[in-house]
Amino acid sequence: MFSEKANTIFQEVVEKYHEIDRVDQDFHNPYDRKNELIEHLLYRKCWIDTVQWHYEDLIREPDIDPEAGMALKRKIDASNQDRTDTVEFIDSYFLEKYKNVVPRPDATINTESPAWDIDRLSILALKIYHMKEESQREDASENHRRECRKKLDILLEQRKDLSLAINQLLKAIADGDKYMKTYKQMKMYNDEELNPVLRNKK
């Protein structure tokens, strides 16, 4: 099933990142874009999320140098754009995969496209990894570890439910019971014509 493949790749990514655990480490995608497109996109998606997760940790340093903080904020903005672009590539994969499916007359649409559900699954992989770390942290109190174990159980249940829902959605699309529509993320803050601050600098 698709979600099982995605979860395996996401876990692979998170563990690979933490071998070095630096936001500036080299990125190497082990999946060939030509022959393993969806695997390639899933790996890239989760790597972006993992680096951004740690950007978000770094920028919350209370004594961060303002210039370093601004540089980091720009990296987060670029990462967000990269994340959005990759989600749209994943949806394009599914649009191509199911392009010959004729939806039934009573087919319905989902609130999220498959790729945005997969986006949530990738973030869950990170939450699970770090909550598990917290639940085992030796320098934390037993109460902290206990509370984190409770949260970890909820996250694991959430991943199970979301994985099932994604599999069900993809099957429904393949069977013609649901149909896909995608909307390009019309982000305005990077556009020199739509962001008034950038427009006024031209």
List, for residues 50-90, the tens digit of each pLDDT value: 999 999 999 999 999 999 999 999 999 999 999 999 999 99
List, for residues 117-128, the tens digit of each pLDDT value: 999 999 999 999
**From the DSSP assignment, how many helices (H) and strands (E) are in the chain?**
6, 2
Determine what percent of the chain is predicted with pLDDT higher than 90.
Answer: 89
List, for residues 27-55, the tens digit of each pLDDT value: 999 999 999 999 999 999 999 999 999 99
Q: To the nearest whole number, what is the mean pLDDT of the chain?
A: 94
Element (H, E) at 108: strand 108-109
Q: What pTM, to 2 d.p., does this model score?
A: 0.91
- Per-domain residue ranges for the chain? 2-188
pLDDT of residue 54: 97
**Do 180 and 94 meet the contact criterion of CB atoms below 8 Å apart?**
yes
Neighbouring CB atoms inside 10 A of 182's CB total 15
List, for residues 152-184, the tens digit of each pLDDT value: 999 999 999 999 999 999 999 999 999 998 877
pLDDT of residue 202: 63
Tokens of residue 176, six digits: 């013609």
